Every structure is written in structure tokens, then in C-alpha cells.
């Protein structure tokens, strides 16, 4: 069995003018590329990278890809480590990863587009979808936290599911529920596809909708909305292997993730394509001003308070600054991810890993990205005057 070493050299994805040569790990040279060109931002990124390399070792990430977007353009991107157990395939910013729950921003945006097109009603009851009640009753009968205080005879709507307001009285509280989110593909398949029984084993209607509404107009050629998309075989074959960590620190290859998109997960992408996604939302290419505003506006609860979640995105205030983000974590497949936007400063951090170490254990009932040591490194090094 092959295990991963953390003493390998970072691989950089080359864009623009070479600003520095950085010696890391094995002593081989790597070319650092930064778009801004100012000494201040160069120094900040170098400091961030130094902390990033240390965090990667501490959190035992076999491979890591990172991108920073500033003012709607790619500022910097970098790859570290390897995509495979044999150390033959280096990670680059163009390496595809299973992005786990960072799929939800795609799903939220797709549903808002379908609503704007008059094709769906987000206030439709989820129970109108065949087999929803049986799946809900199963979840409610388990010891999983996502089934706690889940009342399947209550009027749960598609909007409640999109905004994680299904537990307790629907609309009364936020509680992150990825299993209920994964029922959303069944809803669309029932409405427009071949029926709920055909949601798996094919490139389903949700995947096709994400292709049409997001991937194609954003030019995301290295992204698959599901692994059943036969038009992108190189993305499928280039995808990094996921890993878990044993008690003694050894990394073990994990199983391959599921191929269809259920709603809670399913997208495979690269940090460069996620940068395209981020930019295309903000410049209006894949979201009109009305849809973009709705996408990032947190839901309102029945008591009039504001929830911590909009449509596929967490929204929170941290030290007086709005943060919009989503994390991803799949312990069975061995992947983790973070997409973090800071709108006030037109800056975004995107991170994908083929290990679980990006995940910090965000509470199910709140948004607390400040708990991520990787996010804190970004705050401290890139925006030190904003976050103390």
C-alpha cells in the first residue's frame, strides 16, 4: 500500500509575469505568478503561502490547490503535493477535485434561474415529489442529527430545503441538512425528467441544468456537474484520488465518490474553474443583478430573525465584515474544500484538497468560517487591516 509524503515541492500554475522564484521542500525552483504586480500584494501572498505550506503539513493534506480572485480577475493560483498515491501526478490549479458540498452554490443558483424562467415554484411542497415521504420518514427514524426534530407531515417546501429550514417547524430555524438537500435532484427529475427512479445512473436534469445555466456560459470546461457527463472524459480521468488518515498519520486511498449529482454534492471542478464561477457570478455573466442579490440574501425565519444561509451559501458577519462562503467535506471519499468570498473587498479564496484537513467542524446551526485555520491565515496575511 502506498502512503503520501508531505515533503514534496509545490507545483504552480503559470499565468502572467513571473514575480518570484520560491524554493520549497525538495529545493526545486517554482515560478510564482501574481497579477497585481505591486510589492505589497506580492509580500502578502508570499506570507500567506508560507503559512499555507505549514498548515498543509499540519493538517495532512496530500494534495492542495489554491486560487485567489481579486476585483473579478484571477490574482494568484498554486498547487501542492500529488493527486495520486504513487507520487506520479502533481497537483496543479487545473487538477479536478470532488468538491463535495461546494456543489450547493451551483444548485442554489440553478434553482433560482429555473424559478426566474417560470419553470418551478420554490414554495411547492416537497411532499408532492413521489417517494419524498418515505425518504423523509427514514431520515427522521435515524440517529443522524439531520433527522432530529424532522416532521415529515409538516409543509416543507423546496425553499425550506434550499435554505436548510426543514427541522422543527419549517421556516423556524436554520439547521444545515445535506441529506434533505440531496432530495432536490429528485424534485427536478419528477418535474422535467424521467421520474425519480431515474435520478441515478445518468446525467440527470439537475446536472443538465447546471451545464446549461452555469458551466457553459462561464466557460468552465474543466468542471463536471456529474460524473455521468460523457462529454468531459479528461475531467473524469484527471480527478485527484481522495485520501483518509489513520491514527498513526498514514494516508489511505478512499473509495471513489458517487457519480450522479443528488443536490448536496456531485460537482467535480478545479480552483481555476471555480475562479471562473466566482467571477461570472459577480460580473453578471451567469447571474442577473436580481438573481445575484437573491442568491446571497440570507433567509428570514418566522420570528423575523435572519438565518445564516441564503441559496447555497452561508452568509455571516465577522468583525463587521460580511463573509459569503461554503465548505465541503466528504470523509468517505477523502476530500475537503472551501470557497470564501469577501464582497466588501472584492476578494475570494478558493481551496480544494484530496484529504479531509480543510474541514474544521463548522456547527450545524450557525456560520463560523473563522474557525478554519486556513481562512484565518487568509484574513491575517491578505487583509490584516480588516481582521484583527
Query: In the 8-state DSSP scheme, what is residue 254?
Result: P
pLDDT per residue rounded down to tens, the chain (388 residues): 333 333 343 433 333 333 333 333 333 323 445 555 578 888 999 999 999 999 999 999 999 999 999 999 999 999 999 999 888 999 999 999 999 999 999 999 999 999 999 999 999 999 999 999 999 999 999 999 999 999 999 999 999 999 999 999 999 999 999 999 999 999 999 999 788 988 999 999 999 999 999 999 999 999 999 999 999 999 999 999 999 988 887 889 999 999 999 999 999 999 999 999 999 999 999 999 999 999 999 999 999 999 999 999 999 999 999 999 999 999 999 999 999 999 999 999 999 999 999 999 999 999 999 999 999 999 999 999 999 7
Asked if residue 1 lies in contact with residue 252, where contact means CB atoms within 8 angstroms, the answer is yes
Distances (CA, A) of 35 to 42, 76, 326: 9, 7, 25
Burial environment of residue 384 by CB neighbours within 10 A (0 to 12, 13 to 18, 19 or more) = exposed
For the chain, counts of helices (H) and of strands (E): 12, 12
Considering only CA atoms, give the Rg of the chain: 20
**Dihedral of the alpha carbons of 271, 273, 275, 279, in degrees to the nearest 10:** -170
Within 13 Å and on the Cβ side, how many CA atoms surround 145?
A: 8
Asked if residue 343 lies in contact with residue 351, where contact means CB atoms within 8 angstroms, the answer is no
Asked if residue 277 lies in contact with residue 108, where contact means CB atoms within 8 angstroms, the answer is no
Class for the domain spanning 18-101+219-382: alpha beta
Q: How far apart are CA 124 and CA 139, in angstroms?
A: 21
CA angle in degrees (0–180, nearest 5) for 13-16-17: 110
- Show the cell assigned to 150: 424532522
Q: How far apart are CA 358 and CA 334, in angstroms?
A: 11
Q: What is the pLDDT of residue 198?
A: 86
Query: Which residues, listed in sequence order, are joined to residue 87 by a DSSP beta bridge?
Result: none
Burial environment of residue 125 by CB neighbours within 10 A (0 to 12, 13 to 18, 19 or more) = middle
Domain-by-domain residue ranges, the chain?
Answer: 18-101+219-382, 108-198
Q: What is the pLDDT of residue 41?
A: 87
pTM above 0.75, yes or no: yes
Helix then strand then coil, in percent of the chain rounded to 5, is 35, 20, 45
Asked if residue 16 lies in contact with residue 24, where contact means CB atoms within 8 angstroms, the answer is no
Taking alpha carbons only, the member of 16, 31, 17, 41 closest to residue 92 is 31
Count of C-beta atoms within a 10 Å radius of residue 304: 6
- Secondary structure (3-state) at 322: strand
- Residue appearing with cell numbers 479564496: 349
- Residue appearing with cell numbers 496543479: 92
Q: What is the pLDDT of residue 38?
A: 77
Asked if residue 126 lies in contact with residue 155, where contact means CB atoms within 8 angstroms, the answer is no
- Show the cell assigned to 96: 479536478
Query: In the 8-state DSSP scheme, what is residue 157?
Result: B
Amino acid at each position: 500500500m502506498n502512503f503520501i509524503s508531505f515533503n514534496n515541492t509545490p507545483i504552480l500554475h503559470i499565468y502572467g509575469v513571473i514575480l518570484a522564484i520560491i524554493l520549497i521542500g525538495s529545493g526545486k525552483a517554482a515560478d510564482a505568478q501574481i497579477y497585481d504586480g505591486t510589492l505589497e500584494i506580492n509580500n502578502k501572498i508570499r506570507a500567506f503561502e508560507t503559512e499555507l505550506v505549514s498548515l498543509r503539513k499540519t493538517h495532512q493534506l496530500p494534495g492542495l490547490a489554491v486560487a485567489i480572485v481579486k476585483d473579478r480577475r484571477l490574482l494568484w493560483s498554486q498547487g501542492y503535493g500529488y493527486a495520486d498515491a504513487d507520487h506520479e501526478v502533481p497537483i496543479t490549479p487545473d487538477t479536478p477535485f470532488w468538491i463535495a458540498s461546494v456543489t450547493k452554490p451551483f444548485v442554489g443558483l440553478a434553482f433560482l434561474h429555473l424559478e426566474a424562467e417560470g419553470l418551478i415554484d420554490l414554495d411547492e411542497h416537497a411532499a408532492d415529489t413521489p417517494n419524498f415521504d418515505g425518504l423523509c420518514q427514514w431520515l427522521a427514524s435515524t440517529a443522524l442529527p439531520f433527522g432530529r426534530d424532522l416532521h415529515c407531515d409538516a409543509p416543507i417546501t423546496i425553499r425550506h430545503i434550499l435554505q436548510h429550514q426543514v427541522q422543527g417547524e419549517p421556516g423556524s430555524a436554520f439547521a444545515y441538512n445535506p441529506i434533505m438537500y440531496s432530495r432536490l435532484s429528485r424534485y427536478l427529475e419528477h418535474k422535467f425528467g424521467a421520474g425519480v427512479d431515474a435520478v441515478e445512473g445518468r446525467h440527470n436534469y439537475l446536472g443538465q441544468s447546471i451545464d446549461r445555466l452555469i458551466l457553459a456560459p462561464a466557460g468552465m470546461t474543466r468542471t463536471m456537474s456529474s460524473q455521468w457527463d460523457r462529454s468531459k472524459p479528461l475531467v473524469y480521468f484527471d480527478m485527484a484520488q481522495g485520501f483518509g488518515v489513520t491514527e498513526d498519520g498514514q494516508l489511505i486511498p478512499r473509495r471513489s465518490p458517487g457519480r450522479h449529482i443528488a443536490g448536496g454534492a456531485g460537482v467535480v471542478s478545479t480552483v481555476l474553474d471555480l475562479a471562473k464561477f466566482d467571477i461570472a457570478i459577480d460580473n453578471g455573466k451567469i447571474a442577473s443583478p436580481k438573481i445575484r442579490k437573491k442568491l446571497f440574501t440570507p433567509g428570514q425565519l418566522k420570528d423575523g430573525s435572519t438565518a445564516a444561509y441564503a441559496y447555497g451559501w452561508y452568509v455571516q458577519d465577522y468583525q463587521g465584515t460580511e463573509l459569503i462562503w461554503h465548505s465541503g467535506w466528504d470523509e468517505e471519499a477523502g476530500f475537503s474544500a472551501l470557497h470564501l468570498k469577501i464582497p466588501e473587498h472584492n476578494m475570494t479564496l478558493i481551496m480544494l484538497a484530496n484529504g479531509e484537513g480543510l474541514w474544521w467542524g463548522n456547527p450545524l446551526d450557525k456560520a463560523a468560517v473563522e474557525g478554519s485555520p486556513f481562512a484565518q491565515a487568509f484574513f491575517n496575511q491578505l487583509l490584516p487591516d480588516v481582521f484583527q
